[in-house]
Chains A and B, each alone.
Chain A
Amino acid sequence: MRAPVLNAGANYIKLWNDPNFWNSMKITILYVVYNIPIQTVIGLLLAVLLARFGRSIVLRSIILAPYLIANVIAAIIWFWMLDPLLGFGNVVLHWLGFGRIAFFSDRDLALPTIAAVNIWRHMGLVALLFYTGIQTIPKDIYEAARIEGAGPWKNFTNITLPLLRPTFVFVLVTSIIGSFQVFDTIAVTTLGGPGYATRTIVWYIYQEGFVSFRMGYASTMSCALFLCLAIVTVVQMRIMRSGQSELG
């Protein structure tokens, strides 16, 4: 690591012209796209089911359990489950008549697989947050809808979804910010590979700053990431008009 020298923004010019930076941004956004929609839909589904059928604390604890264990542990367990030769998941696939799949060392599958591991880890937390949101919806609204003859699906789309908007804003803002910064799972499983297939932005920053010791350039990229997250957050808040509640 060298002593810092002022270089009049040269790092930012380098950043603009660095294809690796843009590539890792692209990979990160792709990762977020794999990760967030499925995680949010599963979380919402579980929350509705928990609110209707299973309010027990034991069930909620079990659903939350994957989130309480370390990222590294979740990653290593799935790395083992999906091991091409000995992993339980692959044995089951083999048994079902599919071939064995090298999930983490396949160029096209590695990124979605890492997204799946994180969906597994976070779905319970998302479910709990939506569950809490559902608890705040007054019961008499559903009662009124029932008298009007509305079915469960109509209730969900006309009452639950719109009234959950503040929860949606919170869940999406925090989970997208978290998703952009994926690191631990990659550090345990693919190390940015195969090739550069899982070199997300934080992995690239880590490589530049803490492996190649180009701290200046790594800082430049982390500022760009910060800016990017700030923009994403503001845009989301605007789109979802988070300040207003349907309940007024």
Chain B
Amino acid sequence: MGNPSSSLEIRSRRWLGYTVLVVFALISLGPMWIAAKTALSDSRTLFTGASSLLPQDPTLFNFERVIGLVNPADPRLQQTSFGKIDFYRALTNSVIFTLLAVVPQIACSAMAAYAFARLRFPGRRLIFFLFLSATMIPAVVLFIPNFILIKDLGWLNTFQGMAAPYALMTPFAVFFLRQMFLSTPRELEESARIDGANYFSIFFRVVLPIHRSALATLTILSVLNAWNEFFWPFLVGRAENVPVMAVAINAFRSQQAGGVPDWSGLMACTVLGIIPVAILLVIFGRKVVEAFQYTGYR
């Protein structure tokens, strides 16, 4: 085993492996760095600084102007290449949309999952099977009937219209939590029942506290998903006062004030859209990574 040629081979193999991993880490983060660099640069340096890895004349002006911190009379806003965007509103809208989508989603899914895991009612197998099949349906198939329903309710361009489909229809969450709830030790539930607890108090006092960690995982996944959502909010929430982050960025990109998109403004928006995700990743790093790793959520 102590053979020098083979230990050399192992060492060079290890170096090769590390190098490939580092290259892919750079490929993953590099484009985001270029976006951040552009956002931090003075927009007049886009051409001269195109090949630079560091911001030119570093400034926070692009961030300030997209979230409306700059006085409209400020002479620096007179550049023809600047588009119009109220990204502060878009971020606020995304927060509202995320809360409206995630909180009811977790609550409804947890109750449904408990019912599927523990209650005995006629047709429960069939209903659960239908629920699982729903995960296979492409989103766009559901968007057409959902759109007509939301339109008939008069909910186009409202937050309730944007959040409604996410609040109730989440087969993945139900499936995931059902698997968790099935693993609850029966004795705990039985002893609570002997003490006179009904299903609701067992659910809230026994089952939910045991599965805190699974609920946290699911919440992180749902928050990320809602924060990044585009297609459905794009269909029903395009009016001036309701667009979420991704819809606002898409609309901003299609304005071409000076013949080209307002790149420095756009990159400031993308950085602001990434920051909450980055914070989540820094605080809950392991939990986020493992959530995707073990659930295969997409």
Contact = CB atoms under 8 A, between A and B. Distances in A.
Interface of A: 1, 42, 45-46, 49-50, 52-54, 57-73, 76-81, 83, 85-88, 91-92, 95, 120, 123-125, 128-129, 131-132, 152, 170, 174, 177-178, 180-181, 183-184, 187-188, 202, 205-206, 209-210, 215, 218-219, 222-223, 225-226, 229-230, 233
B165 to A, nearest CB: 15
B27 interface: yes
Contacts of B235: 210
Contacts of A62: 25, 28-29
Interface residue SS majority, chain A: helix
B245 A222 contact: no
A37 B224 CA distance: 27
Nearest to A174: B298
Contacts of A85: 47, 260
Contact of A181 (B24, B140, B280, B281): B140
B281 A152 contact: no
B98 to A, nearest CB: 12
Interface in B16-47: 17-18, 20-21, 24-25, 27-29, 31-32, 34-35, 38, 46-47
Given A77-B32, A181-B140, A226-B141, A69 B277 contact: yes
22 contacts: A46-B24, A50-B21, A53-B17, A53-B18, A59-B25, A62-B25, A64-B288, A66-B32, A68-B224, A68-B281, A68-B288, A70-B229, A70-B230, A72-B228, A73-B249, A80-B267, A85-B260, A86-B47, A180-B138, A181-B138, A187-B250, A202-B140
Contacts of B227: 70
A154 to B, nearest CB: 14
Interface string B247-282: 001100100000010010011001001100100110
Nearest to A131: B293
A123 B34 CA distance: 20
**Which interface residue of B235, B245, B253, B288 has the most chain A CB atoms within 10 A?**
B253
B250 A72 contact: yes
Interface string B143-186: 11101100100000000000000000000000000000000000
A60 B281 CA distance: 11
Contact of A170 (B20, B29, B47, B296): B296
B285 interface: yes
A91 B35 CA distance: 15
A218 B28 CA distance: 36
Closest 9 CB pairs of A and B: A70-B228, A72-B246, A53-B17, A222-B141, A91-B51, A62-B25, A128-B293, A91-B50, A73-B270
A87 B37 CA distance: 12
Contacts of B277: 68-69
A202 B231 CA distance: 11
B28 A66 contact: yes
Contacts of A210: 147, 235
B294 A71 contact: no
Contacts of A225: 138, 140-141
B136 A233 contact: yes
A76 B289 contact: no
B275 to A, nearest CB: 10
A209 B144 contact: yes
Contacts of A46: 21, 24
Contacts of A79: 253
A188 B250 contact: yes
A229 B135 CA distance: 12
Interface string B227-242: 1111100110000000
Contacts of B29: 62, 65
Given A46-B24, A69-B228, A188-B250, A129 B17 contact: no
Contacts of A128: 289, 292-293
B298 A49 contact: no
B18 A229 contact: no
B70 interface: no
A205 B141 CA distance: 9
**Which interface residue of A65, A77, A91, A187 has the most chain B CB atoms within 10 A?**
A77
Contacts of A70: 227-230, 245-246, 273
B132 interface: no
Contacts of A57: 285-286, 289
A184 B140 contact: no
**Which interface residue of A91, A187, A218 has the most chain B CB atoms within 10 A?**
A187
B206 interface: no
Nearest to A228: B138
Contact of B263 (A83, A92, A178): A83
A80 to B, nearest CB: 6
Interface in B53-107: none
Contact of B50 (A45, A61, A87, A170): A87
